[in-house]
Structure 1
């Protein structure tokens, strides 16, 4: 399946608490680039980006309250074009399964994803971030694609 990704992307921005300052600094540095796109963020991250950087951000719930799942659903639906997720690999989160699910669906749907500042810099500065792009997205298997195994 191929999707047409427009020049103005829908970018999801998420940061765990220990990485919010890093995402904030990155967003301030890339404010002009980010302002050309439609931004979606989890609750607290979106609030910080709006108040501290002045970006217009559509806010979902906070991550532990289902925000990661909301963004994951948007990825599955094909409405997110890029994921910037500064997650904390050293700090257990109460919603770790949601984090794993979000990263899994982003990989399955072939969404460019950055989990650190260096990768985020490469993505946002890429010419593909501001031009139309024919993106090949893997179709998600349906339940009927999996054989039903009955217990003996």
Structure 2
């Protein structure tokens, strides 16, 4: 499965800790992330992460492109709901796109844990039947 990660600056440590806690599950999948989020995940987990540009300079657009091509199977986007910035990846655009293409998305740790544990059980295997591998 292809799993995408994005985190606003104030949530980078949370996403690092999340990935470290579920490293044994994530290691069986392809991981994608915006620039600095991907580097930080790699640093703490030693997992390979395919990195897009930083979200503030187009990484969120690359992320959306992969969703629109139906190449992303799950997205975890930890964002700060009380802080919006024109330089931050656009949670609304990404979540709308995930909804349009039936890509599961988690925007908080509780939902992210449910998705990752479901991934380990095979609950998301249906994505393999509809995913495009043109990426």
TM-score with structure 1 setting the length: 0.78
- Of 79-88 and 96-105, more deviation after overlay is shown by 96-105
Instruction: Give 2:4's aligned residue.
Output: 12
Do 1:114 and 1:120's aligned partners in 2 also have CA atoms closer than 8 Å?
A: yes
Deviation at 1:135, TM superposition (A): 7.4
Q: Which has the larger radius of gyration?
A: 1
Deviation at 1:18, TM superposition (A): 0.4
Q: Relative CO higher for 1 or 2, CA cutoff 8 Å, sep ≥ 6?
A: 1
Correspondent of 1:117 among 84, 90, 109: 109
User: CA 1:103/1:134 → structure 2, altered by over 3 Å: closer, same or farther?
Assistant: closer
What is the distance in 2 between the residues matched to 1:55 and 1:135?
A: 22
Q: When you count helix as a share of all residues, which structure comes out higher?
A: 2
User: In the TM superposition, what are the counterparts of 1:1-152 in structure 2 within 5 Å?
Assistant: 9-95=1-87, 98-126=90-118, 127-128=121-122, 132-133=125-126
Do 2:56 and 2:89's aligned partners in 1 also have CA atoms closer than 8 Å?
A: no
Tell me the alpha carbon deviations over residues 40-73 of structure 1, each in whole angstroms, 9 at most, x when there is no partner: 0000000001112211000000011111110111
Corresponding pairs, count: 128
User: CA 1:109/1:91 → structure 2, altered by over 3 Å: closer, same or farther?
Assistant: same
Question: Where does structure 1 differ by over 4 angstroms across 4 or more consecutive aligned residues?
Answer: 134-137
Structure 1 unaligned residues grouped into runs of 5+: 1-8, 138-152
Structure 2 unaligned residues grouped into runs of 5+: 131-135
TM-score with structure 2 setting the length: 0.87
